[in-house]
Structure 1
């Protein structure tokens, strides 16, 4: 299966909205179900100056999305956060790995990002394993920080520091 990574285009908003109709996918994000494609378009356009939006495409279909959000604060320009979602039909087939790998290449080699951060639900073992595979470490836990399916959930705060910088700094 060939996974093509490309930049987000206007034609991707309806498939992204459709992807977020799957409860299992929405459950592992901070989004709510049933957002219209206009919601996604407005959300991404409002962040366009400080973000990069990637699409994973398989056989012409949107298989996943990853958004990199860079900080607008002068002293935090080296920090980015990201969110990722993979269509349920393509989970477990390397789409998430391909998106994370491409994000890391962009951050390390083009965007001058030294630290990449994310939050992930503590019970999302597959995602945690993926992030650890790419050098992300759990730095803490945010308890009761997201409401979903009638209950509060907790998230791990994870981060990856560019390896060449870690080699320069003594351990803390």
Structure 2
């Protein structure tokens, strides 16, 4: 298929080369000899883009305790490689899902099985944009944007993000969230993006607020984790 004459380049990206039209976050095979850190990812209208470094305030922290610049062996903000999820990612994602800090920020149960993750990946369809973040070939986080199925709610998408416990507070969550919002705005034309977060997860709330999300409501004692009931917040980002 031919590339349209007018190509809208997502914010924070610069075009590298052109190719076959595949849509945002499609899977591709990097050129031989390309290191994991330097791989490009294919995005929108058959162009390959490399995201420029983005510096935003407010790290995400699904772990119970966010790492600081003094405890982290990595730079304060790093730019991960973002790509579409693959069936082969199931084992790495399952390991992340079973981390105590990750689980603390979700409603997931302990001892999740790889087969469960494999089925979830296999069932994801066109309504879902699901990406992972890599550092030197290691999956360190993921994020998904799921569009509502009802025709009268098709302008709404729900976002979920999670990180490896050892890679919080490094800007990875912000990179994932920014990429998903780019898809929501520029590829799916969504008007409302929403999410749920624990009311005591202040780092995550700051991250979402820095990307334009606002608290819409509080669900009292709606989440149960580690033997206690916790409040949840509904947050949304509107674009009308």
- TM-score for both structures, normalised by structure 1: 0.91
Paired position in structure 2 for 1:76:
153
Q: How far off is 1:107 after superposition? A: 0.3
Q: Is the 8 A contact 1:114 1:161 kept in 2?
A: yes
**3-state DSSP of counterpart to 1:30:** coil
Higher helix share: 1
Paired position in structure 1 for 2:113:
36
Q: Is the 8 A contact 2:217 2:233 kept in 1?
A: yes
Q: Is the 8 A contact 1:17 1:34 kept in 2?
A: no
- TM-score for both structures, normalised by structure 2: 0.66
Paired position in structure 1 for 2:209:
132
RMSD: 1.1
Q: Is the 8 A contact 2:79 2:171 kept in 1?
A: no
Bigger radius of gyration, 1 or 2?
2
Higher strand share: 1
Q: Is the 8 A contact 1:63 1:90 kept in 2?
A: yes
Q: Deviations over 1:118-161 (max 9, x none)?
A: 00000000000000000000000011212111111111000001
Q: Is the 8 A contact 1:81 1:117 kept in 2?
A: yes
The count of aligned residue pairs is 163
Q: Where do 5+ consecutive residues of structure 2 fail to align?
A: 1-77
Q: Is the 8 A contact 1:63 1:87 kept in 2?
A: yes
- Whole-Å separation in 1 of the counterparts to 2:98 and 2:181: 28
Paired position in structure 2 for 1:65:
142
Q: Is the 8 A contact 2:83 2:133 kept in 1?
A: yes
- Whole-Å separation in 1 of the counterparts to 2:235 and 2:220: 14
Give structure 1 regions of 4+ aligned residues with deviation exceeding 4 angstroms: none
- Whole-Å separation in 1 of the counterparts to 2:194 and 2:156: 8
Structure of higher RCO (CA pairs closer than 8 Å, 6+ residues apart): 2
Query: Do structure 1's residue 149 and structure 2's residue 195 form an aligned pair?
Result: no
Q: Is the 8 A contact 2:87 2:121 kept in 1?
A: no
- Whole-Å separation in 2 of the counterparts to 1:45 and 1:112: 25
